[in-house]
Amino acid sequence: MSPAALARASLLALLAAAGAACDGEGSSAASRDVAGGDARAGRQAVAARDCGACHVIPGLRGPRGWVGPSLAGFGSRGYVAGVLPNTPENLIRWLQHPQEVAPRTAMPDLGIEPEEARHIAAFLYTLR
Amino acid sequence: MRAGPRRAAWPLLLLAAPLPGCAGSETQSVLEPLGPEAALLANLSWLLFAGGGLIFLVTMACAALAVWGGEAQRRTLGSRRLIVAGGIVFPVVVLTVLLLETLSLSRTLGARSPDGGEPLRIEVVGRQFWWDVRYPGASPDDAVATANEIHIPVGREVELRVSAGDVYHSLWIPSLQGKIDMVPGRVNTLRLRAGEPGVARGQCTEFCGAQHALMAFWVVAETPEDHARWLERQRLPAGEPADEFLALGRRVFGTAGCGTCHAVRGTEWDGRIGPDLTRVGGRLSLAAGALDNHRGTLGGWIAGVQDLKPGANMPSYNTVLDGPELRAVSAWLESLK
């Protein structure tokens, strides 16, 4: 192979390797699959409960509040409520019992049942 | 004459696109009447649609004949007789009939119903950007104050006496009646009646400021028994908080100064600048139809009013309340059902 061709091939190989790492996964490599969670049902639940009153939620019509953090890119976020690692288990726990996770949080306990929490979690993980 | 470039006709089909939006689950449509007055208006609307549609088709047919018709047809179309008949006699007759029909309808809609009986009088004052609703009652003790929601008994004539507190507003419940302007310093009257139980949505229809588009309200038509029960409940003052957390919420309501603007009967707070909150937890919505009603949306509203309705007269309380205080006052307001 000529030196130019070799250089070109090396450059291409390097770019391919770099490209493979750029899949937009965010900070954590943990799996964000929610067993038993239906993202569609979660989206409906989020709309029905008007979570937008406090949170900006991409793709949802209705109120866009800034009282709580925007949920854009939540699926890539490292921590839940700035306290717990962002895993399905922790997210579901946060949705159901916010005050147990962060006692001084402004987020209310809305009496969300485990099944609904799973669906909401599945939906939130689609926001990347 | 050279023919111009051919244009595609399919974009005209887009004009039909808005039609599916007419049917909705919240009844807010002139074409879905819930009472006799609205039924009269709906009939007139359909008459105009059908008549107008027919006249349009005939006119388009004449235009087509004028462009592509034979020599004899085009001469007939251009004849003086047809122009006088179609261009003067026909419109004068049709419009006169419509005018008389509409004047008679307006008189019917504004008149007291002939079957006697005292109408239920409700005072509604339009304010930026909410609806101040009061039922005067026989005495001041009987008076009920609520906001953004009007409850009426089915079958009984209702008299809405409307005015405005700041700028012009206009009250419109499409499924029940026509529009009525709300003019500062003047009381206008709208008479309506619900023919069946149901929930209708109303809107402000006179541009009144930055949040005019988020100024809706609900009309709940219920059986006379349910309505009497609702009125009775509304008259009750707020009860004592059921637990320590709710008691904290009530204290926060005081220390944050909410009582300056909002009244809660049964407490020392009787502000009249904002909506009466005595039974706010039981309403169908918050913020004039903009939000669902539970402790979550209450918190979002209180802490972030200016994000949700910039320009509203209430400030955002995120600067004043910390997390637990916000949750407590939201829970207390939610408990006022």
A24 min Cα distance to partner chain B (Å) = 30
B304/A64 CB distance under 8 A = no
B313 min Cα distance to partner chain A (Å) = 17
Q: What is the DSSP string of A48-61?
A: HTTGGGTS--TT--
CB B289 within 8 A of CB B217: yes
Of B255, B269, B272, residue with least CA distance to B336: B269
Of B274, B255, B260, B259, residue with least CA distance to B320: B255
What contacts B196, CB < 8 A, 6 or more positions away?
Answer: B34, B154, B221
B291/A49 CB distance under 8 A = no
What contacts A103, CB < 8 A, 6 or more positions away?
Answer: B324
Crossing angle for the helix pair A114-124 and A39-48, to the nearest 10 degrees: 100
Confidence at residue B37, expressed as pLDDT on a 0 to 100 scale: 93
B151 DSSP β-pair partners: B220
Q: Which two tokens stand for residue B81?
A: 């007789």
Residue A27 has pLDDT above 70, yes or no: no
A106/B291 CB distance under 8 A = no
Confidence at residue B137, expressed as pLDDT on a 0 to 100 scale: 83
d(CA A123, CA A86): 14
User: pLDDT digits over B311-334, tens only?
Assistant: 999 999 999 999 999 999 999 999
B118 in helix, strand or coil?
coil
User: pLDDT digits over B17-37, tens only?
Assistant: 444 444 445 689 999 999 999
- φ and ψ at B128, to 5 degrees? -75, 110
Q: Which amino acid is at B302?
A: I
Q: Pick the more confident residue, A5 or B327.
A: B327
Mean pLDDT of chain B: 91
CB B214 within 8 A of CB B202: no
B296/A50 CB distance under 8 A = yes
A110/B299 CB distance under 8 A = no
Of A80, A64, A94, residue with least CA distance to B300: A64
| Contacts across the A-B interface (CB distance below 8 Å) | 64
A56 min Cα distance to partner chain B (Å) = 11
Q: Which amino acid is at B164?
A: A
Q: Compute the Cα dihedral for B229, B231, B232, B238 and give only its sign.
A: positive
Of B308, B325, B323, residue with least CA distance to B256: B325
Q: Which residues of A touch B320 (CB under 8 A)?
A: none
- B164: number of CA atoms within 13 Å, CB side? 18
Between A63, A104, A110, which is nearest B323 by CB?
A104
Confidence at residue B21, expressed as pLDDT on a 0 to 100 scale: 42
A69 min Cα distance to partner chain B (Å) = 12
- Omega before B129 cis (within 30°)? yes
B120-127/B158-164 β-pairing: parallel
Neighbours of A20 (CB within 10 A): 8
Mean pLDDT of A101-123: 96
User: pLDDT digits over B251-268, tens only?
Assistant: 999 999 999 999 999 999
B291/A105 CB distance under 8 A = no
CB B269 within 8 A of CB B253: yes
Q: What is the ipTM of this complex?
A: 0.80
Residue A68: DSSP 8-state:
S
Between B297, B318, B324, which is nearest A104 by CB?
B324
Q: Which residues of B touch A107 (CB under 8 A)?
A: 323
A106/B327 CB distance under 8 A = yes
User: pLDDT digits over B34-90, tens only?
Assistant: 999 999 999 999 999 999 999 999 999 999 999 998 999 888 888 999 999 999 999
Of B134, B108, B120, residue with least CA distance to B36: B108
CB B87 within 8 A of CB B55: no
Q: Which residue of A has its CA nearest to B325?
A: A106
Interface residues on B facing A, Cβ-Cβ cutoff 8 A? 290-292, 294-297, 299-301, 303-304, 307-308, 318, 322-324, 326-327, 330-331
Q: Which two tokens stand for residue B95?
A: 């419009």
